[in-house]
Structure 1
C-alpha cells in the first residue's frame, strides 16, 4: 500500500507501549490489553476514551499487519535521515540533490523507480494492494454464578450492532434518490499525491473516503447507511474460567470492509457462600466440635456438585487441619483439581449448668497443654 502522510509523524509503537523490535505476539497482546482498558463501553463516563481507542486501533492496524509494518518501518528509517512527507530533507536525499555525487539522469531515474516501487504499491495499476481493514473489536461483560464458572456453560450476550438501514437499503440516500460517484476521486475513495520521490495516498477530502456523495440523505440513518440494532451472540464459557478473565470470540465484533472484528467477553464470577477457589482446587471450611476433634469421627461433606464425600477425622485433630479429596475440584482440559476441606473446631457457647459441670470435671482430669511455669 502507499504510506500515509501521518506515518512520518506518528510513533505507533509508542502508542501501543511496545518497542520497535517487539514480536507480532507482543504487539497483539499489548493491543488487546489497551483495547479492553480504553474501550468506550468500558469507560462510559470518560469522553476521551473513544479517542484513545481509535488511536490504539489505528496503531495496531499498521504495525499489527506484517506488510504494513514493513513499509512503516522503512518510512520511519527514511524519516530519521531527515526525509519528510514533502520530499527529502535538505533539498534532496540525505541533503544532496539527486544529480550530485556522480548521479546522472539514468541513475536518478533508477532511484525514482526504486522509491516509487516501494511507496506506490497501492497506486492504480500497481502491484500489491492494502487489505481492507477489519471491524473494531467489541467488549462486553457476562456475570456467572460460582457453579456455572466451575462447570462451564453456553450462554448468550446482547450486543448492539450496525446493520444496513432498512429505509434506504444501505445506500444512505433518501428514497427515490441515489448517491453519485465522487468527482474528486472518481469513486476511488483516495487521492494520490506525488512529491519528490514519494507518492502518498490520502482519503478523499470531498467524500471522506466513501467514494460517493449523497445529496439527499436518508431521514432515518442521516446518510450513514447504517442503523443500530440489537443482536444476541451465543458464546461458550469453558469450565474453570476465572473471575476477571477475558474470552475472545473471533468474528463476532463490529463489521468492517475486511470482515468483522472480534468480541471480547469479560467474565465476572459471583462469590459462593461456602466454597472458594485456589487455582483448580476448591476450598471448604467445615466446623467440628471439641469432642469430634478429640475422639475422631466420620464427617459427611457436601461437595459443589451436591453428591458429597465422607472424611475420616482421626482423634486428636487440631483446628485448621486440611484434608485433601483427590479429583473433586475444578475440572478443565488442562487437568482436575482437588477438594481441600479445612476443619475448624467450634468452641461451645451458652452452656447449660450440666454441660458446664461436665467440662469442669474434664478440666480436672485432662492436663493443661501449658507447662507448669506458664500456668
Structure 2
C-alpha cells in the first residue's frame, strides 16, 4: 500500500491525536489481542489489520517518530529521516523522484545492485509466567538460501547463464523518446543482463532453495501480547551481496487460569466463605513467586483488595516489579440442608443493625430519598 493510501495511524489505533502515551499503549494492547492471528486463523483481513496496528504503534509509541509523523505524515517516518534539505538520499521525496527519473535516465542500473533479503515474521506463543520472567526459546525459521547445486546462478550444472540477447548484457535497453535518449530496464532479463536457458533442476532457475534454520530467541521479562522482538539479519538471505532481512518475533501470551494482568500488576480473585469473611482467617494464595499466607481481617467485605507489593510482573526494560492484588470474593452458600437453613434464619433473627452497617446506611439514604 502506498503511503498516500495508508490509514491515519491515530485512526488505526482508534485514539485522538492528543492521546497520551498510556492511552496509545492501552489501545494498542486491546486491538492487538482482538486481531491477533492466533485468534483469527485464516482471516486475512484480521492479519492485515494486526500488521497495521503494529506499524502504527511502532511510530506513535516513539516520541521522535511521532513528532515527525505529526508534522509530515507518513512521508516523515518512511525510509528513515530527512536530509538537510532538497530531495537528497536521506529525504523521503528522494526515493519518489528516484523511482520516476532513475529508470528513464539510467541513473540506477538494477542488475548491478545487491538485493536485501526479505523480512520475516514469526508468531511465538508463551505462557503467562514466561512472559513475566523472560524465557529463551528455540524456533525453526523457513527461509530461502543460495542453491548449492548451481551456486546461485540458476543454471543447470555444466551450463552457464547466457548474455541477454535483447540488452546484450547491459541490463537496460535504449530508445529514442522525443529529444531524449531513454533507458529502461530490460524486460527480457529483468535487468540482470543474463538469462538462464537451461534451469537448474534443484532451484528451477531461481538460484535459491527453501530451507530452515533453528535460532534462539531471548524473550525479556515483562513482555505482553503484541510486543515485537527484532532480530537483525535473521530474515531472508540477501542476493548479490545484499544484506539479510530481519526477523520479527511477535509475542502472544496464553491466558492464565487464575491470574490476569493490568500493566505490571497481577490480579487474582480468591473466594472466601461468609464465616471466613465475618470472623477473619488466614488463607494461602498463589503468586508468581509461589504460595503466600494472607491474613483476612474479620468483617472483610466482598471486593476488598489486598495488595502485596513487589510481587507482580517485572517492568519491561526497566527496574522494579508491579504488585500482586488479591480481591476477596465472599461466596454465598448454596444447596443448604435444613439444619444450615435453620441456623442462618436464627442468625438473621438475632442480628441487629450494628452487624450490617452498610445495609443500614443504604436503607437510611433510600428513606431520605423518597421521603
State TM-score, norm by structure 1: 0.66
What's the secondary structure of 1:71's corresponding residue? helix
CA distance, structure 1, for counterparts of residue 175 and residue 8 of structure 2: 31
* Alignment root-mean-square deviation, CA: 4.2
Shift of the 284–192 alpha-carbon distance from structure 1 to 2, 3 Å rule, reads farther
Work out whether 1:312 is the aligned partner of 2:295: yes
Work out whether 1:13 is the aligned partner of 2:7: no
Q: How far 1:174 moved relative to its partner?
A: 1.1
Matched residues, number: 296
Q: Is the 8 A contact 1:245 1:267 kept in 2?
A: yes
CA distance, structure 2, for counterparts of residue 86 and residue 151 of structure 1: 52
Task: Give 2:122's aligned residue.
Answer: 140
Q: Is the 8 A contact 1:86 1:195 kept in 2?
A: no
Work out whether 1:301 is the aligned partner of 2:291: no
What's the secondary structure of 1:163's corresponding residue? strand
Q: How far 1:232 moved relative to its partner?
A: 2.0
What's the secondary structure of 1:240's corresponding residue? coil
Work out whether 1:216 is the aligned partner of 2:198: yes
Q: Is the 8 A contact 1:146 1:270 kept in 2?
A: yes
CA distance, structure 1, for counterparts of residue 120 and residue 96 of structure 2: 29
Shift of the 220–161 alpha-carbon distance from structure 1 to 2, 3 Å rule, reads same
Q: Is the 8 A contact 1:248 1:262 kept in 2?
A: yes
CA distance, structure 1, for counterparts of residue 42 and residue 183 of structure 2: 35
1:75-224 to 2 correspondences below 5 Å: 121-122=107-108, 132-191=114-173, 202-224=184-206
Task: Give 2:18's aligned residue.
Answer: none
CA distance, structure 2, for counterparts of residue 162 and residue 295 of structure 1: 68
Task: Give 2:272's aligned residue.
Answer: 288
Task: Give 1:356's aligned residue.
Answer: 341
Describe the superposition over 1:330-364 as per-residue Cα deviations: whole angstroms up to 9, x where unpaired.
Answer: 01332411001000011122334443333233212
Describe the superposition over 1:227-275 as per-residue Cα deviations: whole angstroms up to 9, x where unpaired.
Answer: 1112223211122211233222222111224311111222221111111
What's the secondary structure of 1:331's corresponding residue? coil
State TM-score, norm by structure 2: 0.66
1:19-98 to 2 correspondences below 5 Å: 64=79, 67=89, 69-72=92-95
Describe the superposition over 1:275-332 as per-residue Cα deviations: whole angstroms up to 9, x where unpaired.
Answer: 11111110001011112211222222121232x2222222211101111100000013
Q: How far 1:183 moved relative to its partner?
A: 4.5
Describe the superposition over 1:191-229 as per-residue Cα deviations: whole angstroms up to 9, x where unpaired.
Answer: 466857878654322211223211111122111111111
CA distance, structure 2, for counterparts of residue 273 and residue 349 of structure 1: 24
Task: Give 1:104's aligned residue.
Answer: none
CA distance, structure 1, for counterparts of residue 181 and residue 325 of structure 2: 67
Q: Is the 8 A contact 2:109 2:191 kept in 1?
A: no
Work out whether 1:329 is the aligned partner of 2:344: no
Shift of the 195–216 alpha-carbon distance from structure 1 to 2, 3 Å rule, reads same
CA distance, structure 2, for counterparts of residue 43 and residue 140 of structure 1: 14
What's the secondary structure of 1:350's corresponding residue? coil
Q: Is the 8 A contact 2:103 2:183 kept in 1?
A: no
Shift of the 86–271 alpha-carbon distance from structure 1 to 2, 3 Å rule, reads closer
**Which protein is richer in helix relative to its size?**
2
Describe the superposition over 1:23-42 as per-residue Cα deviations: whole angstroms up to 9, x where unpaired.
Answer: xxxxxxxxxxxxxx9x9xx9
* Consecutive unaligned residues in structure 2, runs of 5 or more: 10-34, 56-73, 82-88
Q: Is the 8 A contact 1:325 1:339 kept in 2?
A: yes
Task: Give 1:342's aligned residue.
Answer: 327
User: Highest CA radius of gyration, 1 or 2?
Assistant: 1
Structure 1 window deviating more from structure 2 (267-276 vs 321-330): it is 267-276
CA distance, structure 1, for counterparts of residue 177 and residue 97 of structure 2: 17
Task: Give 2:263's aligned residue.
Answer: 279
Q: Is the 8 A contact 2:103 2:184 kept in 1?
A: no
Task: Give 1:247's aligned residue.
Answer: 229
* Consecutive unaligned residues in structure 1, runs of 5 or more: 1-10, 20-36, 88-118
Describe the superposition over 1:142-171 as per-residue Cα deviations: whole angstroms up to 9, x where unpaired.
Answer: 111222122211112222211122322322
